[in-house]
Amino acid sequence: MAPPHSRPARPARPARPGADAARTPAARTGPGAARPQAAGTASCAAAGRSPTPPAAAGVPRPGRPAPGAHRPPGPRPLPRSRATRLLIPYLSLDAPVMNLRLDRNRRLTAPPGDDDNLVGWYAGGPSPGQPGTAVAVGHLDTDSGPAVFAGLTELKTGRRIEVRRADGRTAVYTVDAIRTFEKDHFPNRTVYGNRARPELRLITCGGNYNRRTGYSGNVVVFAHLVQIRTHTAH
């Protein structure tokens, strides 16, 4: 039995139709001028169900605190700076981060399927440590085997997630909950709704796998900012 901090080994999935596109959005997954919503194809990496922008759906856009919202006690939020690496020590996960944006259908695109150790950060939302709901997505698996977010269900509340920034600072989040949602009942407001404090969502595929339709749901990790550290850039 593998130790709890290691990434669970999973048999490679058979080639899957549409494995190069994740139904993410604001539609099946993504935030943005449209918020993220759930992911949905075989090479799924995010979440959401309809490609509707948050404003149209009545959900505040991530990263914009509600007027008059009181900021809870905690680290002072950081100014904008892009994410460069995401680390989860408990899972021995250390992965580079790329920026992701919405496609023409307002769906959040997924990281390339040919790199199983790459995380995508929704660049239209908050950067690490900024107020609001930041979103990062990653593949559960690829055609060749387990991918970067294969171990998310192994996480436990209280574990740390570290996100390094281009400005030399690291935003440290603590896990509040790990939930699995069926795509047809994905709670966009709960996942993508705005928060006054800096929060983070990690999203990947979950539920049952069907060769024709892909995964039935999404795994979502909820976390909030607890610390800011300065690291030495390499």
- For 98-164, the DSSP string reads EEE-B-TTS-B----TT-TT-EEEETTSPPTTSSEEEEEE--SEETTEE-TTTTGGG--TT-EEEEE
The confidence score (pLDDT) of residue 171 equals 98
Is the residue at 63 inside a domain?
Answer: no
For 18, 20, 29, 169, 191, the CA distances from 105, given in Å and listed in that order, are 16, 16, 11, 34, 20
The confidence score (pLDDT) of residue 26 equals 34
Is the residue at 210 inside a domain?
Answer: yes
Is the residue at 133 inside a domain?
Answer: yes
Q: pLDDT tens, position by position, for the chain (234 residues)?
A: 333 333 333 434 433 323 333 333 333 333 333 444 443 333 455 444 333 334 333 334 444 444 444 555 678 999 999 999 999 999 999 999 999 998 888 888 889 988 999 999 999 999 999 999 999 999 999 888 999 999 999 999 999 999 999 999 999 999 999 999 998 899 999 999 889 899 999 999 999 999 888 899 999 999 999 999 997 654
Is the residue at 69 inside a domain?
Answer: no
Among residues of the chain, what percentage have pLDDT more than 90? 52
Is the residue at 215 inside a domain?
Answer: yes
Sign (positive/negative) of CA torsion 41, 101, 86, 47?
Answer: negative
Is the residue at 143 inside a domain?
Answer: yes
- CA angle 39/112/61 to nearest 5° reads 45
CA–CA separation, 62 and 57 (whole Å) = 13
The confidence score (pLDDT) of residue 58 equals 35
The confidence score (pLDDT) of residue 103 equals 87
Q: Structural domain tally of the chain? A: 1
Q: Give the range of the structural domain holding residue 185, as residue numbers without chain letter.
A: 80-99+115-230
Is the residue at 72 inside a domain?
Answer: no
The amino acid sitting at 16 is: R
pTM: predicted TM-score of the whole model, two decimal places? 0.74
Is the residue at 43 inside a domain?
Answer: no
CA–CA separation, 222 and 181 (whole Å) = 13
The enclosing domain of 94 has a CATH number of 2.40.260.10
